[in-house]
Amino acid sequence: MTTASFTVVGMTCGHCVNSVTEEVSAVPGVSAVDVDLESGGLTVTSDAPVDESAVRAAVEEAGYSVAG
């Protein structure tokens, strides 16, 4: 198991969290997604290192962006 952490910009409510969770969960290899609304923290758990560009694309698909 590996984890990767990101900071999502633009989330304001529970619906935002659900959108990001749903999109990132669809990234191949992802086994768990934890989103913290207050901090914008996104932790992605996977069996093997996950493709960072795929996570960024999933966050953008949900309508938000990844900081940094």
Is residue 45 within 8 A of residue 32, CB to CB? The reply is: yes
- pLDDT above 90 coverage of the chain, percent: 99
Sign (positive/negative) of CA torsion 19, 44, 31, 52?
Answer: positive
Report pLDDT digits (tens) over 25-56: 999 999 999 999 999 999 999 999 999 999 99
Residue with tokens 């669809």: 26
Q: What is the reported pLDDT for 39?
A: 97
Q: H or E stretch including 64? A: none
